[in-house]
Copies of this chain bind each other. A is one copy, B any other.
Amino acid sequence: MQDRAALARELEETWHRDIPLAAAMRIAVQSYDGRTLTVRGPLAANRNLHGTAFAGSVFSTCVLAGWGAAWLAWREHGMNGLIVVADSKIQYRKAVTGDLVCLCAPDSAAVAAALEEFRGMGRANLSLDCTIDVGERRAVTFTGTYVVQAPHH
């Protein structure tokens, strides 16, 4: 198992280097404990014309958090996969009035099953939920279906 802090740094560097919009969003990996990934984007870079978080920034933060959680799970198991999102849905319940703080805590059994599928088939589907709260209240709920493929599948 690799050092988690180093993996989290590599994830953030990958986003900033290879995804111009992630750099523009100034997205950062705030923490990763082996299950829960927390990413943060400052409001200033992600605001809309109402002064709250832009719906596109909110979605992008969530889709990256899910992608990152899958990437970290694969890397922690010594594997590389090409990860893409297939479908997603998002509910905006409340306006996000401060920095975007998005959590993704994949279900351990679902990750284990997807890793086993990937080892056997070179491909796996993984559904991931991400959330953003404002204060004590849920502001955003996101669900994305990710497809992970072996690099030369």
Q: How far is the CA of A85 from the CA of B59 in the complex (A)?
A: 12
- Return the chain B residue nearest A64 by Cβ: B56
Over the window 45-71 of chain A, the binary record of Cβ atoms lying under 8 Å from chain B Cβ atoms (1 yes, 0 no) is: 111111000111101110110010000
Taking the full assembly, how many copies of this chain does it contain?
2
Chain A residues touching B, range: 35 or more
Asked if A39 is at the interface (CB within 8 A of a chain B CB), the reply is no
Extra pairs beyond A14-B49, A55-B85 (5, CB < 8 Å): A18-B47, A50-B82, A87-B90, A88-B89, A89-B90
Query: Residues on A close to B: CB < 8 A?
Result: 14, 18-22, 24-25, 44-50, 54-57, 59-61, 63-64, 67, 82, 84-92, 95
